[in-house]
Amino acid sequence: MTHKVFIDGDVGTTGLQIRERLERRADIQLIRVDPSLRKDVNARVAAFAEADVGILCLPDPAAEEIVAACDAQGVSARIIDASTAHRIHPAWTFGLPELAPGQREAVASAARVSNPGCWSTSAIALLRPLVDAGVIAADADIAISGVSGYSGGGKSMIEEFEAGTAQGSFLYGATQSHKHLPEIVAYGRLSKPPVFVPSVGQYAQGMAVAVQLTLSPKEQARAAEALRDHYAASAFIAIVEAEAHQPRVNPQALNGTNRLELSVQGNPQTGATALIAVLDNLGKGASGAAVQNLNLMLGLDETTGL
């Protein structure tokens, strides 16, 4: 059986990688809009109406606009949104199938799915099982940091680095208004925002994230056990021994995959703890996650094409 898919915004980084992944599959027929009409709302709404599932790879305002246009024209399209526009919208299902029991089924049956961000995928994957298990309190003092390849910054940042005009690696988000914070709080089941200071490195692709907090030696052991239990049946998320992420965490180790590796690090004597996540920011952090969600929505094995 062939499934029809329309990617709205397939010339951007995420959309292009989704398209490349789907073009290799015999079970997917990509719906195309004439390039001269790629900004024409009516032509795009018609494409959504024809597709089994549409995927939005657009800036937030454009994503909101096309969803509203589909609704206004009575097109009840099934949609995956890779932007941040609908990440915590109550009518949209959060597209992290491994989030909690029942989430995979919720994604499979959903009409509208919000694809998680790369930073939030890492943080939530570490935090949610531990909050649910009572290892971490919802109001715990938490800090999040890490490094991502510049491809996560979109077209303008990619051009800046590839043209050689970037000023090197940098921190950002110090004002604590990062666009991923609301979803980290909501789906990590936190009662207050963590302190979040991400950074961009001088390389294209790959991400390493550290969630920092204080846990006793017993809690550190419980954290590792809770993560192993939670992801025991996961096809894409693995819990690795601390040694796998020592002495240096390689943010590019999982490039080209839809995998996410998690580990529990720390000093048992002081309680200083670092929960580590490694993933491809364009894989499980973006396009790979969208394809995983697409597979579920089409009733396919979630690993198809991944």
Q: Which residues are catalytic?
A: 118
CA pair distance 228, 239, nearest whole angstrom: 6
SS3 7: strand
Question: At a CB cut-off of 8 Å and minimum separation 6, what does 232 contact?
Answer: none
Omega prior to 247 cis, within 30 of 0: yes
Phi, psi of 289 (to 5 degrees): -60, -40
Helix ranges restricted to H, 80-238: 103-109, 118-132, 154-162, 181-187, 217-230
b/e code 259-286 from CB counts within 10 Å (16+ = b): bbbbbbbbeeeeeebbbbbbbbbbbbbb
CA pair distance 184, 188, nearest whole angstrom: 5
- Comparing CA positions, the residue from 126, 115, 118 lying closest to residue 89 is 115
Instruction: Please give the distance of CA 261 from its chain centroid, rounded to a whole number.
Output: 14
Bridge partners, 79 (sequence order): 54, 112
